[in-house]
Amino acid sequence: MKFDHFERAEDISALFEVLQSVVDCNGRPACLTANCLSANPDFKKILESDFREYSREPSLQTLKRVPGADGNMEIWHQACSSGVCHPQSHGREHLNVGRWLRALQDGSDKVTRTAFDNEMFAVSAHIIPEARDSFMAAFDSAGEAEPPRPDSVVADAMAEFTEMFGYASRSFIAPNYIWNYLTEVALHESGVQFIQSGRAQWVPLEDGRGRKLRRRFLGYENNLGQIYLVRNVDFEPSSDPTVDWEDRALSQVKLAFGLRKPAVISTHRVNFMGGLDPRNRDRGLKALSGLLQSVVKRWPGVEFIRTTELGDMVRASTAP
């Protein structure tokens, strides 16, 4: 929350410049798989309904209202054409709609209402006085008497992603690493072949009575034929400035390569945003540049590939 802000043209241009500046043994630049959301809450319409009805605003429409974001999509498309960026779907919103609306209807959560009045729904945990389930976990049905099915949300997300970028997303990563088999079924029906994941997944039980932890491994294939692609390198410089993130990530890359595994780096947009504090963006980009340069220097045969390319390689390696 301290640094997060809508991306501005200068933020994403600076990020793509860093990626373009480092190339692999094949002359390909570093490539970011940018997992994108297609919509945000329409705060005005939700307020007009007295929090009884949810309305959403396409992300493209939101960007038109953000100072400094003019031309963002043109920059995104240029980055895709140059090979430094390959968007994939992260869902419709990074929001558990039912949970959020119930809190707003109740009215006792003053932090949530204050955030709403400032067109926000994500509030850092240390600001919230009482423990509650996250509003960010879009597919978390834990605690729901009648768990909602994810079908319509997934279908909306996939259709809106295609409208934004002109192609269908072949992979998907669930907000907060929380989803269950019903989500995978909905994704399969929308053509998703690869499930991006952290090292562990929280699975909400279908009866709504909590969650269970499930470890995930690169290359696992579920009974729908979807392959899991697991992140094994952490790079989050905004989360703790006391950590040497370049060195930490490099150590994890070394471990992955030592095990003859690909290094899949997990990072988030906030690490490169400068709307609230330009120093945050500058620190993140400096660390990213240092990490990428160290990787190509230490492993000159390294190859930069997209998430979907990795998925295709894994599938080919396991084919009978």
* Domain spans, the chain: 9-38+67-91+149-318
**CATH level 2 (architecture), domain 9-38+67-91+149-318:** Alpha-Beta Barrel (3.20)
Please provide the average confidence, as pLDDT, over all residues in the chain. 93
176 backbone φψ class: left, alpha, beta (φ>0; ψ -120 to 50) = left
pLDDT tens digits, one per residue of 22-79? 999 999 999 999 999 999 999 999 999 999 999 999 999 998 888 888 788 999 999 9
Neighbours of 48 (CB within 10 A): 12
Neighbours of 111 (CB within 10 A): 15
- For the chain, the helix, strand and coil percentages under 3-state DSSP, each to the nearest 5: 40, 15, 45
pLDDT of residue 1: 57
pTM, full prediction: 0.93
pLDDT of residue 261: 97
Section 256-273 average pLDDT: 96
| Pairing mode, strands 56-58 and 39-41 | antiparallel
pLDDT band for position 306 (cuts 50, 70, 90): very high
Residues 6+ apart with CB under 8 A from 93: 37, 39, 40, 41, 56, 138
pLDDT tens digits, one per residue of 153-186? 999 999 999 999 999 999 999 999 999 999 999 9
pLDDT tens digits, one per residue of 118-167? 999 987 666 665 667 889 999 998 877 677 789 999 999 999 999 999 99
User: Looking at the predicted structure, is the pLDDT value of residue 286 above 80?
Assistant: yes
